[in-house]
Amino acid sequence: MNHRIDDVYIFLVTNDVGDEGVAAFFNPTRKRLEPLVASTEEKLAEMTELAQGMVSLNGQPMTIAHFTQREDVSEIVPAPGGGRDGMTVQNAFWLGFGLGLCVSPVLVLLCVVALKRNREREDPWL
């Protein structure tokens, strides 16, 4: 059975000048940042519990926004030959970090923490 995502819940944070960004957390199991986004009521309940813990820890409130209108704007397809074609894990990390600078101060902080943790490992880009 296919499930089409037509609406999503996104956890938002606001910085001191009023700019909004998508809240994210570092998933140590997957070794990456993951945004707080839910497409089902079950996932919303799970993410809300996680968000409450984050808010309790850092004192920064979050807003849950429910987006209900979908518009597909483009489709990204593999390059000829498939594979990453030059996109390394390190490049992907820095691309995500750069996007984080535009999106969320919390995401930037989490990227910096993740980068510091990765530098402490023997091979930081595993």
- Which tens digit of pLDDT belongs to each residue from 26-65? 999 999 999 999 999 999 999 999 999 999 999 999 999 9
Better-scored residue on pLDDT, 93 or 124: 93
This prediction has a pTM of 0.60
Question: Other CB atoms closer than 10 Å to residue 6's CB: what's the count?
Answer: 10
- Tell me the average pLDDT across 96-113: 50
Q: Closest Cα partner for 4 from 66, 72, 65, 76?
A: 72
Listed by start position, the domains of the chain span 8-70+88-119
Buried b / exposed e across 92-116, counting CB within 10 Å, b at 16+? ebeebbeebeebbbbbbebbeebee
Give 16's contacts (C-beta < 8 A, 6+ positions apart): none
Per-residue pLDDT band for 91 (boundaries 50, 70, 90) equals low
